Structure 1
Amino acid sequence: MDAFDFLHPTVASWLCASPLALSAQAYWCYLTERQYAPSTAKAYLCCLAHFARWVHQGRYSLDDLDHTIGRFIDEHLPRCNCPAPVQRCRHQVRTALQHLRVVLGDCRIATDEHQANPIEAVMHRYDEYMQQARGLARSTCLRRLKIAEALVYPAAAVTPTADQLRHFIAQELDRVSPASGGTIATALRSYLRFRAFEGDRVEHLLPVIGSPAQWRLAPLPQTLSCADIEQLLGAFPPGLPSRLRSYAIVRCIVDLGLRTHEVSSLALDDIDWAAGTLRIVKGKSRRVDLMPLPPATGRAIAEYLRMERPATTNRQVFVRHVAPVDEPVSPNVVRNTVRNAYRRCGLPYTRVHILRHTLAGRLLETGGTLKEVADVLRHRQLDTSLIYAKVDMNRLRAVMMPWPGSPA
């Protein structure tokens, strides 16, 4: 089936005359193979044609596709006066062009004058370095890549100067909290160590990076009460889209303290139904942890698998119910599931990590120790669990001293 058969003749001519003409059919096949609705695929193809017309008329380069797409969305769309029919919805255009990135990357389709971007090549090697040499979690790699790109792209150099580094740090610290500032400092040190690994002389740059002052373990961990938890687990009424999947996801976090990426990575082979255990393979500590599967959590997962999970060849437990199908849910789906449940039951929270704090608090209330909390939450070091000593009211009462001047 030809992609151009679904387009208005004017729109089809835009696409045919552009450097993206050869990619149109691959783009259409990509959408149909993932079972996007025909109307959605057609709308995305119209967005692609609009972008193609702008690229062709302005003679913009596709070498740096991300930069070109950003200019199209931020500069062209707000004042677009292209003739009808065009797609101008910012959200829809952005989504359509995200699919274009995947298609061009998978099919190796490029323009005649395409040349490798040296900074992009360095970022690719840095990503591999973090995963293979440092063993970092994928979420950490993506966060550090984003910070490194924000540093090197404006500077147009893979190794910044001391003045560029100072300016970047000062600019970032003006807009973020001290905790986020510490994350930025760690990411910058990581990138400079990678540049040293590749042979650059960066020893003089490391002292430039200073972490903002923050007191470790200063705040109290925020937790939910038992009534709040019951309210949260009751926020999945009949008729709710993907109700069983959402309920099973929340139970995995409430009962087991799983992180969002651990929930999305959970595979069918990780569950031993006979032994009643759950294997966490892709945890933050990069170890394989075996955990007991609570009956309530097991029933929620089993009910989802039997009654709501679509037929798929994917071995992940939680899969997408809408296009692109046959793919696992992302950590963002897990986060949004919990946040939507908060909103439905009227709880004023947005952070998913609160549920891990709550599980630690429940363990301590029932007589558990900090070592048991560390084991259940899969902390690599016991020091990480020390913050929960502040909410262990039973043991705090045992060592509490009378207030000076108060009756003994």
Structure 2
Amino acid sequence: MVFIPFMEDQMERSEVKIWSLLHAPTGPIAIYIDAIARDLLEQGFTRRSIAPQVRLIAKFSGWLETNAITLTSLSDEHVGVFMRAVERPQSKRIGDRPCLQRLMCFLRSSNLIQQPAINNSVDASAIQQAMFNYGASLLKDQALSRSTCAQYISFAEHFLSERFGSGVLNFDELRAADVVEFIRRQASRYSPARAKSATIALRSFLRYLRMRGAVSLNLAAAVPTVPNWSMTGIPRAISQDHVEAVLASCRRDTAVGCRDYAILLLLSRLGLRSSEIVALTLDSIDWEQGSLAVVGSKGGQRSELPLPADVGSAIVEYLQRGRPRSACRSLFLRVNAPIAGLGSQTSIGSIVVAAIARAGIHPPHAGAHQFRHALACQLLRQGASLTEIGSLLRHQHQKTTSIYAKVDFTALRSISLAWPGSAQ
């Protein structure tokens, strides 16, 4: 076994070799394998899991050399060609493609290869190209959040796909009847709230087309209104007994348990949204002032919330015992490599679902938002005003908070009419 030596700066930091190969690697990536291995180690991969990744990267580098492919011309397409041409089905591992994707990210972040070209793909369909341009406009010109952009793009793409299929994309052929029929189909398939979202997205897209001069008619005015009365339901809150059962289900002697317990406390004690928890960083906490800076998912408004003692203690316990060592500034990290932030709000939902299953309870509703509703209902029962609740939950409109008046049974009972007759 021939061990390839580290660079001098790596030897100064550690005399333990991270990787070894039977033969010295060749090709344009060979001189960067030390740095790649260190990067994988920093992402949380063990030395055992780094070894097969280094072998694959060395093989890929040798293939690039054989095919006279330099770093200046390297692209994601070469990864696919390599996987199809070199790797036999029986020799492929599940982690091979993610390994090479991490390699490409490393090379790009190190400015060793060019960034992927998004707007010049000859294979992109006309609809995909239109959605790319529309999405760029939503982000740049309207400063919408990425989740909102994704929702708008989904409906717009669906509309164009139903109207044009795989044919020529000719916006001049769009008529008011196309718009009305699309919304009618959405209204028959989805809930009123979902159908209303379709109308909002479609109006946005049609205004965009007119602004770009792609259509001459004001088709946005043809989008029909879908009835969706607000305040028709009641808050879907998990009971306090179930909240305590969920918190008790976390094994706080494990790294995962420490993390999940702190997250569940943020949901139940402060009523944070899933996206707000994912966005928290190490800089969000002011330990001297005992406050937590939260950037709202709706409007991006920054708020300073008091940090309850039990929530602060849980976060400290996680930072000391459960949080992996990482340069990532996100407060909550993945447990398994690659070590990074939780990524999206669906991660919080998965944590909630797992905690509910461990607790062995069956609340009437699922998801993380039920903890936010539960906090509001509990504060209302303790005598807090709707204004105070709206301030804590960072509602932009008072109307949003007023829905909790429906669960204030004490106040409702005082204004209820007596039952006629002798019946009680």
| TM-score, length basis structure 2 | 0.71
Please say if residues 278 and 293 of structure 1, whose CA atoms lie closer than 8 Å, have aligned partners that are also in contact.
Answer: yes
Task: Give the whole-Å Cα distance in 2 for the aligned partners of 1:186 and 1:143.
Answer: 10
Task: Give the whole-Å Cα distance in 1 for the aligned partners of 2:42 and 2:160.
Answer: 37
Which residue is 1:58 aligned to?
A: none
Give the superposition deviation at 1:260: 0.7
Amino acid at match of 2:194: S
Which residue is 2:70 aligned to?
A: none
Gap runs ≥5 in structure 2: 5-18, 21-26, 61-75, 81-87
The reply on whether 1:142 has 2:157 as its aligned counterpart is no
Give the superposition deviation at 1:251: 0.6
SS at match of 1:319: coil
Cα gap change, 1:306/1:83 in structure 2, threshold over 3 Å: closer, same or farther?
closer
Q: How many residues align?
A: 367
Give the superposition deviation at 1:344: 1.1
Task: Give the whole-Å Cα distance in 2 for the aligned partners of 1:248 and 1:298.
Answer: 8
Cα gap change, 1:144/1:94 in structure 2, threshold over 3 Å: closer, same or farther?
farther
Amino acid at match of 1:201: V
Please say if residues 119 and 158 of structure 1, whose CA atoms lie closer than 8 Å, have aligned partners that are also in contact.
Answer: no
Deviates more, 1:293-302 or 1:239-248: 239-248
Cα gap change, 1:241/1:362 in structure 2, threshold over 3 Å: closer, same or farther?
same
Q: How does 1:202-217 map to 2 (within 5 A)?
A: 203-217=217-231
Percent identity among equivalent residues? 29
Which of the numbers 114, 121, 131 marks the counterpart of 1:123?
131
SS at match of 1:342: helix
Which residue is 2:169 aligned to?
A: 157
Amino acid at match of 1:277: S
Which residue is 2:206 aligned to?
A: 192
Task: Give the whole-Å Cα distance in 2 for the aligned partners of 1:197 and 1:37.
Answer: 53
Cα gap change, 1:326/1:220 in structure 2, threshold over 3 Å: closer, same or farther?
closer
Give the superposition deviation at 1:343: 1.4
Amino acid at match of 1:338: V
Please say if residues 318 and 329 of structure 1, whose CA atoms lie closer than 8 Å, have aligned partners that are also in contact.
Answer: no
Cα gap change, 1:95/1:197 in structure 2, threshold over 3 Å: closer, same or farther?
farther
Give the superposition deviation at 1:207: 3.8
Task: Give the whole-Å Cα distance in 2 for the aligned partners of 1:158 and 1:234.
Answer: 59
Which residue is 1:363 aligned to?
A: 379
The reply on whether 1:331 has 2:345 as its aligned counterpart is yes
Per-residue displacement from partner, 1:31-74 (whole Å, max 9, x unpaired)?
7874556887869x99xx9xxxxxxxxxxxxxxx99xx9xxxxx
Which of the numbers 270, 294, 317 marks the counterpart of 2:284?
270
Which residue is 1:394 aligned to?
A: 410
Which of the numbers 379, 390, 394 marks the counterpart of 1:374?
390
Structure number with greater Rg is 2
| TM-score, length basis structure 1 | 0.73
Please say if residues 122 and 158 of structure 1, whose CA atoms lie closer than 8 Å, have aligned partners that are also in contact.
Answer: no
- CA-based RMSD of the aligned residues comes to 4.4
Amino acid at match of 1:347: I
SS at match of 2:189: coil
Task: Give the whole-Å Cα distance in 2 for the aligned partners of 1:244 and 1:279.
Answer: 21
Give the superposition deviation at 1:243: 0.8
Amino acid at match of 1:357: H
Which of the numbers 261, 275, 300 marks the counterpart of 1:247?
261
Give the superposition deviation at 1:306: 1.4
Give the superposition deviation at 1:326: 4.0
Task: Give the whole-Å Cα distance in 1 for the aligned partners of 2:229 and 2:339.
Answer: 45
SS at match of 1:386: helix
Cα gap change, 1:202/1:391 in structure 2, threshold over 3 Å: closer, same or farther?
farther
Which residue is 1:313 aligned to?
A: 327
Task: Give the whole-Å Cα distance in 2 for the aligned partners of 1:93 and 1:189.
Answer: 43
SS at match of 1:311: coil
